[in-house]
Structure formats: C-alpha cells, structure tokens
Amino acid sequence: MNETNSLYIAIAGNPNSGKSTLFNELTGLRQKVANYPGKTVEKHVGVLQDDPDGNIRVIDLPGTYSLNPHSPDEEIAHDVLMGWSDDTPRPGLIVAVVDASNLERNLFLVTQLLSLGIPVVVALNMMDACRASGIEIDVVKLEQRLGVPVVPTVGSRREGTAELKARILSTLKQPSVPRSVVQIPDAAAREVDRLAAHLQAHELAAAESAHGEALRAICTENSFSHPRFAAARDPLKTTILAARDSLAQAGFAWYAIEAEAGYQWIETLMAEVRNVREARLTFGERADYWLTHRIVGPAFLGLIVLMIFVSIFALAKPPMDWIKHLFGYLAVLVVNTIPAGPLQSLLTDGVITGVGGIMVFLPQIMMLFFFIAILEDSGYTARAALIMDRIMGRVGLHGRAFIPLFSSFACAVPGVMATRMIDNARDRLLTIFVAPFMCCSARWPVYLLLAGAVIPNTIVLGFIPLPAIVLVSMILLGIVAAVATAALFNKTILKGVTSTPAMELPRYRRPRLRMVLQTMWERSLLFVKKAGTVILAMSIIMWALTNYPHRPDAAPDQQIKQSFAGTVGRVIEPVISPIGFDWRIGVSILSSFVAREVFVSSMATIYGTNMSDPHRAADLQAHLRSELDPETGLPFFTPLRALSIMIFYVLSMQCVSTIAVVRRETNSWKWTLFQLGYMTGLAWIACFVLWQGGRLLGWS
C-alpha cells in the first residue's frame, strides 16, 4: 500500500460520542473506549476494512465541541480536519459522529464541518440511548436539511455500522461538497467575503473552504497565530482585526457570530426533526443526586473501593495458590533435569522466582481490572472523578483535571498525556505535577505483596481484612498528597487563577459483560506481557548482579553481599537505612525504576536465591515472612517496615516512563527534575517520620 496515495477519512465529533467505538468497527483495531469524555488525545490511524483496494485510511480524532480549539487535544482534531496537520493529508471525507440523545449540542460541530469543502457522512450514534429517553428523530428530514447522508447507529452493538461503511464507500465514489447551512447576518457576510478573498489571494485557503475558514478566523480569538500562517501573519492579522473592528462598530459581538447563527439554525431544525414522546427523569438522573452528593457521594465511593479490596482478598487465594504450585512444579522440574550450576540457578533463582513472584498476583490484578471495568462501563467512574474534583478544585486544580488524574489510576503516562485537554499552561503543569501520586496499577503488586505478607490478616468490623484497609489507605494517601501538593504549589510557584469549565457526565448504563471481560482481558494480557518481557529481563539482570562476581565457596548470604548488587546496595545504605530500608530493599527499589512491579521480582530474586526448597520458588510472601532481623532475631519485615516501603512507593516518582512523558509534555527538563526531586524528597521525609516516629513509639 502506498501511503501518499491513500485516502484519509477523519472521524470527528464531540467527546464521548462514540468515535473510537466506530473507528474500531471500521478498522478492526482496538482503540481505547470507555464511558467518559476525553480518552482519545492523539490521532490514530487504521485501514478501512472490507475496502476492495485497501488504500483507505481512517483517522480517529480526539473529541472536540467546535472547530475553535481551546486545548491541545482539540487542536490536533482541528488541524487534521482543516488539512493543516504536518503529518496527515487533508481528509477526503469526514465521518461526523453525533450523539443522537444530545443532538443540539452535537450538531454545532457538524454545522462547522459542513463548511470545510469536504464530503461529510453523519453517524447518528447512540440511537439506543436516544430511544430510551423517549426521543424520536426524523432521520429522512435530518438528512434533507443537512444535505449529507445520515446513518443511525448503535456503535457499541454494531448496529448500523455496515450501512455506515456502505454509505462511506458510495460517498467516496461520488463525492459531493456539502453546502454551508448556516446563515450569518449580511454585514458579517460582507466581512467574511472580504477575508475569504484575502485568504485565497494569499493561497491560505482553497476556494471551497475559504468562506468557512474566514468566518472561523474572525470568530476565534488568536486564529492568526497558528504556525501555518507564519509567513503571512502580519497582513492577515491586520485584515482580521479590521474585520472585527467594523463588525463591532455595526453592533456585533464578533466572537459570537458563528455560534449564534449556528445555534439558531439548529433550533429551527430541531423543531422539525425531533419529537419528544415523554420527557422522564431517568434512573441515572435520580441516582446522581445521591451519588454526587457532597457527603453521601464520597462515603459511597469509599465503600465501593473498600468492597473491591475486600473481595479481592477474600476470593483470590485459591488461584494464587495454583500459580505458586505451577511455578514450584516448574522449579522442581528444572532442578531434576538440569545439573546444579549457573544454568540451573539462572532458571530457578532468576527466571522462575522472579517471573513467578509477580505472576502470583495475576488473579488479584485481574479481579481489580474486572471491577474497574464494571465501574468504567457503567459511567460511575466519571462520578467518582467528579467527587474528587470538588476537593481538587478548592486547591486550584482545573475543572478538567479530573480525567487526567483519574486516568493516572491506571498509569501516569496516559494520565499526563490526558492533560492535553486542559486549556492553559499553568493548570496543565499543576495537574502534571500531582498526577503521578495517583495509585497506578504498577504499584498494586508492590502493595499486594507487602500487605498480604506482613500486615496481619485480622478482620475488622466483622468483614474487612486489615490488609484491605491498608491498601485503601495507600490510595487515599496518594490523593491527600496530590491535594496538599496542589494547594502548596498553587500558593507558591504556580500562582494563578483556575478556570473551571463544567464537565459533562456520561450517561449511566448497565455494564455489558462482553465489554467488561474484554477490557479486563486486554489489561491483564498487558500485565502478563510485562512479566514476560521487562520483568523477565530485569529478573535475569538481577540474578546476574546478585550472583557475580561469583565466589563458589562463600555462604549464600555472603555471596549476595559481595555481589555487584550487594556492593551498590551497601553504597546507598546510609541514605536509606534511616527510613527502615536495608541494602536489599534499596537495590530492589533502584531496579524498579524500570517499572514499579520490578520491585517484586527483584525482591524475589534476592530472597529466593539459593533457596533450599524449589517448591516454594514463587512464594515470595512466605520468604519475606520467614526473614529474620540479624540483630534482634525477630521477623525483619515488620508491619512498620512494610508501611514505610509502601509509603515510599505512594509518594516517589519511581518510574522512567513517567519521567519521560513529563519531559515530553512539559518540554522542560527543569520542571521534570524538579518534580522528580520534590516527589523523592517528600517520600523520603514521610518515611523518615514514620519509621523513626514509629520506633520511638515502640511499634514494630
């Protein structure tokens, strides 16, 4: 396939209208789909399926409410649609995805898309939700009035998607440029004509789209500062400012001309095509009163999170045992077939112990992903984020910070990228600063390991295991640290006023088992893949670092102590012993810079090396429990020490990928290193206070 000859179809629409769902249907790919706005923040390209020539490409775009971009993600969509993107040719067709149950607002973007001089096919998506709320839409009439094909779809159930594909292909065969539907006042039209002529004369716009572009250039605040106009900026700016001046003199608010005309047109249209049978308060709307209530809301959220961890601890033990046995069996097999020596040791002490040590947590991780997918698909997570956002808003975080923060619960990398939906630089930076405090899924194995191994499994209040409470506390601590940090920076280095645009909440929906299982499966697969790649590699490296330089006659613990890892560990020990870490913990923490989960496999390799019983290869928790403190002869991994390690992981920026993405998104090493230093310092101080304070109080 030849890329330059490819035809590009852009999928555009408001956030959360189902663009990525339809993109996945059209291309057979698997872009992230979930029930909250702002998931897609970059463009993604795929090949249209079932196309005989196979050279039609489909681009999934970030959601946008209009072609007047306000934030970096909207700019990406805007530039592609305008044909101004450096790496994507001007699309040959636009699929405008609209949410049928929220037609008025969604149609505004469509009115703008119709002025681009590019054929448009409208996907009238979410028809099921529309019908459920008692709204009927006259599709034939809508099609006539828009002048472009309109295809009703239910993307999530694949309804109408074949028809959509067919209409796309037939429109491509006989492309016709839509006509603009919106009528602007004569005085404005004259200015638009004049500017359109200027754009064409300077080859800044093509004939068929010049009028739309001119109108938008007048109505969008800094339209002339787009890099595309670099060479012709000054004359263009003068012309635009002159147009605005004369409009202002004629009594127009220049920035509102397009929006007013657009919404007026839509209002008339809606009266013709929409019929509301009965307006009724849906169950979700009634539930939302309580679920987002100031007191009931957070309490309910806390309860849900707690219940999730309770069930994880209550249900995951049997499958965890199976996995332990499986790896134990593998270790025995290796011991019985391969003669003692470096190879046997590499396979058992390095690979099986390291990878097994982390794979043991697969059942718990899968259960977590399962519950999270349910919450996501139902629409509840957006409410959870809203509850958090109320707290965050008070400390100067932007109203749109909640999606980035909420995404950071999976991983800070997409979280930091999602800050692109925030429109000003200060607010973006503040959000980036606090995003890595959210409990990413790579921390779970660390917490699960330590809480499960060391925190006594006593039952509190009749049904809550203590380890579950500790886990929830770690999540809360991350949130508290984020809030406190935001409050501090808001008053000091990042002073400023926050804008708080209202964020809309997605509709509630009964979670669909297929979607939930699919999401769980995909994320679990990533976890397993990581275990088979990064963690496997790190296990082998850690094995080598702990076994070399090799001293055949040294006792096992002497061997480790004199190995490369031991040497490094003892160098850093003075820094970490005040917070309760010995050199082995220190080395494991260092190695986990690659990915936090590596902590678990590194600990497994260090503690599992030369173990006497290969059956227990993967049972790191048992190894930790039986480890004794050489000074006191008592258990080394006390609850206090375990807490100190966990808190270190809550607060420190222990992850190269996060550092890299912060560097990229802030475009500044200064801020990146500042954040790294701040978070590590905070982690160290918190652990110091806990460890020293705890020991003074005689805790163990």
| Cβ atoms of residues 11 and 22 within 8 Å | yes
DSSP letter for each residue of 15-84: TTSSHHHHHHHHH-------SSS----S-EEEEPTT-SS--EEEEE----SSSS--SHHHHHHHHHHHT-
Q: Which of 8, 12, 18, 646 binds ligand GTP (CB under 6 A)?
A: 18
Q: Are strands 150-152 and 274-276 parallel, antiparallel or unpaired?
A: unpaired
Minimum CB–partner distance for residue 15 and ligand GTP (Å): 4
Count H helices and E strands in the chain, helices first. Answer: 32, 10
Which residues between 345 and 404 bind ligand GTP (CB under 6 A)? Answer: 377
Minimum CB–partner distance for residue 374 and Mg ion (Å): 20
Minimal CA–CA distance to 282: which of 488, 412, 129?
129
In Å, how far are 69, 114, 190, 471 from 187, measured between CA atoms? 25, 22, 5, 64
Q: Which of 6, 40, 171, 180 binds ligand GTP (CB under 6 A)?
A: 40
CA 582/CA 584 separation, integer angstroms: 5
Helical (H) or strand (E) element with 98:
strand 93-99
Q: Which stretch binds Mg ion (CB under 5 A): 13-21, 82-90, 334-342, 408-416?
A: 13-21
**Interaction between residue 672 and Mg ion (CB under 5 A):** no
* Exposure string for 152-183, b = 16+ CB within 10 A, e = fewer: bbbbbeeebbeebbebbbebbeeeeebebbbe
Q: Which is nearer to ligand GTP, 204 or 382 (CB)?
A: 382
**Interaction between residue 63 and ligand GTP (CB under 6 A):** yes
**E strand spans, 210-332:** 274-276
**Interaction between residue 40 and Mg ion (CB under 5 A):** yes
CB closest to ligand GTP, residue no: 63
Minimum CB–partner distance for residue 509 and ligand GTP (Å): 6
Written as six digits, the tokens of 72 are 């970096």
List phi, psi (to 5°) of 45.
Answer: -115, 140
**Interaction between residue 407 and Mg ion (CB under 5 A):** no
Q: Which stretch binds Mg ion (CB under 5 A): 19-27, 387-395, 649-657, 668-676?
A: 19-27
**Interaction between residue 128 and ligand GTP (CB under 6 A):** yes
Minimum CB–partner distance for residue 118 and Mg ion (Å): 20
**Interaction between residue 20 and Mg ion (CB under 5 A):** yes
Which of Mg ion, ligand GTP, none lies near 16, with the C-beta cut-off 5 to 8 A by kind?
A: ligand GTP
What's the burial of 51, exposed, middle or buried (CB within 10 Å: 0-12/13-18/19+)?
Answer: middle
**Interaction between residue 415 and ligand GTP (CB under 6 A):** no
Which of ligand GTP, Mg ion, none lies near 133, with the C-beta cut-off 5 to 8 A by kind?
A: none
* Exposure string for 510-537, b = 16+ CB within 10 A, e = fewer: ebeeebbeebbeebbeebbebbeeebbe
Minimum CB–partner distance for residue 526 and ligand GTP (Å): 18
**Interaction between residue 85 and Mg ion (CB under 5 A):** no
Q: Which of 37, 46, 328, 467 binds ligand GTP (CB under 6 A)?
A: 37
Coil vs helix vs strand at 276: strand
The DSSP output letter for 534 is: I
Minimal CA–CA distance to 215: which of 205, 229, 202, 225?
205
CA 229/CA 217 separation, integer angstroms: 11
**Interaction between residue 123 and ligand GTP (CB under 6 A):** no
Minimum CB–partner distance for residue 23 and ligand GTP (Å): 7
| Cβ atoms of residues 97 and 69 within 8 Å | no
Q: Which stretch binds Mg ion (CB under 5 A): 33-41, 164-172, 289-297, 327-335?
A: 33-41
Site string for ligand GTP, 482-511 (x = CB under 6 A): ---------------------------x--
Cis peptide before 501 (omega within 30 of 0): no
Q: Which stretch binds Mg ion (CB under 5 A): 32-40, 211-219, 497-505, 571-579?
A: 32-40
**Interaction between residue 133 and ligand GTP (CB under 6 A):** no
**Interaction between residue 180 and ligand GTP (CB under 6 A):** no
Residues contacting Mg ion: total by CB under 5 A: 4
**Interaction between residue 155 and ligand GTP (CB under 6 A):** yes
Q: Which stretch binds ligand GTP (CB under 6 A): 11-19, 355-363, 409-417, 520-528?
A: 11-19
Q: Which stretch binds ligand GTP (CB under 6 A): 150-158, 198-206, 259-267, 640-648?
A: 150-158
Q: Which stretch binds Mg ion (CB under 5 A): 15-23, 77-85, 340-348, 485-493?
A: 15-23
User: Which residues, at least 6 apart from 170, have a Cβ–Cβ distance to it below 8 Å?
Assistant: none
Written as six digits, the tokens of 580 are 């309760």
| Cβ atoms of residues 580 and 687 within 8 Å | yes
Site residues (vs ligand GTP, CB under 6 A): 13, 15-21, 33-35, 37-40, 63, 125-126, 128-129, 154-156, 377, 509
Site residues (vs Mg ion, CB under 5 A): 19-20, 39-40
